[in-house]
Amino acid sequence: MADTMAPRNNVAQSESELHPLGRGPTYHWRANAALVDMAMALPPPRRLTIACVPQSVVVDLNRTALVVIDMQNDFCTKNGWVDHLGVDYSPDRAPIEPLRKLLPVLRGAGVPVIWVNWGNRPDLLNMPPNQIHLYKPSGVGIGLGDPLPGSGARVLEKDSWAAAVVDELKPLPGDVMVDKHRISGFWDTPLDSILKNLGTRAILFAGVNTDQCVFCTLTDANFLGYGCLMLEDCCATTSPDFCTEATVWNVKKCYGFVTNSDAVIAALGAQR
């Protein structure tokens, strides 16, 4: 046992030559041939008080992330899948303008931006029949992975135009991209691992649809122990109004807090 242990003086000498391991800004290791330091101190909290309901919330900007769900062409753009189905896609465009204002402010504050987009495998091998049936209930028509008329883009397929973020909200270098293939962004994706490596404890939620993918991702985040803040004006749905009302009520009652982009921008502005 003694032969495998580095002498104390060598360990002390090596501490100034440690190299970082890990991408997370708030938690990582340092190591060299003689020593692994797992006891990295967290940066001091950057406290931000945000007006929310049912209570105002203080978050640590060092441990907060914005998760934007499904703001992609198939849901929010002319000639996308929702448009092809004959559904009015315009409600799903409502978050674009508030997000255009909010994103540069959050990026400037060092808050990670994570885009969670529906992006299936081309071979659909990770999609069981019940998920395919959900979007092609009669077995015919244009469902997951099928080409859209005109563009030929395949519905919700990873790396296709259909699954890309809308032009108005193009991700920037440094943003994080996550492909999902269920209504929840946590199911069988690396989202939880990414958030943990970033040191995230509070999540701001935006995207579409409020009552479906946003809500299911938020509830899973709650079950995983994250603090959840829904940005109401940065979320939208093509569902009837009562669906949004029920979702917002349930978030306030059971799963987190509800606020909006103006409240976040105002809170960040008050710190300057």
What residues are annotated to the active site?
A: 70, 180, 213
219's tokens:
């509830």
CB-based burial label for 224 (10 Å; 0-12, 13-18, 19+): middle
The reply to whether omega before 149 is within 30° of 0 (cis) is no
Residue 48: strand, helix, or coil: strand
Q: Which residue type is seen at 95? A: P
The reply to whether omega before 130 is within 30° of 0 (cis) is no
CB 169 within 8 Å of CB 116: no
Compute the distance between CA of residue 25 and CA of residue 260 in angstroms, rounded to an integer.
26
CB 99 within 8 Å of CB 234: yes
CA distances from 218 to 122, 183, 250 (A): 27, 11, 11
Helix (H) or strand (E) holding 257: strand 257-259
Angle between helices 261-270 and 96-108 (to 10 degrees): 30
Q: Scanning the structure block, which residue is given the tokens 């929702």?
A: 82
CA distances from 201 to 64, 73, 174, 204 (A): 6, 30, 20, 10
Provide, for the chain, the percentages of residues in helix, strand and coil under a 3-state DSSP scheme, each rounded to the nearest 5. Answer: 35, 25, 40
